[in-house]
A and B are shown apart, each in its own frame.
Chain A
């Protein structure tokens, strides 16, 4: 069975390399760096294949995520699965962060 990530050979649209080219944003660089640190020899908290397993488990939602949001979701699930933090800790922290960010965005 073909998983959601298995795009090879399927019909798709134009690549449009000019439109689909950008320097990574600060936010993307942060997600990228967090991943690299979790994968590095010092921590070895995740591997590329583990992260892909989580991304592929998104099923049909796989296609809806922008690239780095998909990776972020995958590593969050991995960290929960490995007990680095709990769902409760994450929910609490996220609530707190969200109010802070909303206040910043509203200026």
Chain B
């Protein structure tokens, strides 16, 4: 691959090496490369415009609300919860989620343990359940520090874990994705599954936050 090293696209970045805010349009270099690759793939019959549109729509439909439904089910249905913890991939199939080619490992928060998910090497994430990962999850600061000083990182999300609870950090990889099962908030005993799902945020399933408590 060395021969390709000469034509790096001129990445859009600031002088300190940090990516620009991604709500800006991409550089003409980046946009022209993407457009050229896309058009070549279509001309060669590798992908079609319909397939591309379909893939974009499918990805837009994978949102954390789906994960929230799965967590709420686990809170109300002990059998489902046990299945989710032991055979994650199989359990989420009933929600139409296909984890292939990766495996899903669901880790449960308890009074003793708080779980936090990171991918230090890249950006592996349970995309089939939560959609596209947040920008901070893919950035260096989170990836570097989550494994060394998780409590400090958590505090930057406003999440303080008491010293008597252990913090366990899970480093995802290309084949194995983690999802956190947050603690069901107290005071929700008579809540419906649908209402419970409203308390489950994306961040609580990554482990940077806890589920929302009913009193806010």
Contact = CB atoms under 8 A, between A and B. Distances in A.
A32 B17 CA distance: 23
Contact of B46 (A5, A7, A17, A84): A84
B120 to A, nearest CB: 3
Q: Interface majority SS on A: helix, strand, loop or mixed? A: helix
B194 interface: no
Chain A, interface residues (CB within 8 Å), range: 35 or more
Contacts of A90: 36-37, 40
Contact of B12 (A55, A61, A69, A77): A69
Interface stretch (B55-63, B69-77, B88-96, B160-168): B55-63
Interface stretch (B105-113, B134-142, B180-188): B134-142
Contact of B136 (A15, A33, A57): A15
Contacts of A94: 32-33, 36
Given A22-B135, A34-B52, A69-B11, A8 B143 contact: yes
A14 B140 CA distance: 10
B51 interface: yes
Interface of A: 5-17, 20-25, 27-34, 36-38, 43, 45, 48-49, 52, 54-55, 57-58, 61, 63-70, 72-73, 75-77, 79-81, 84-85, 89-90, 93-94, 96-98, 101-102, 105
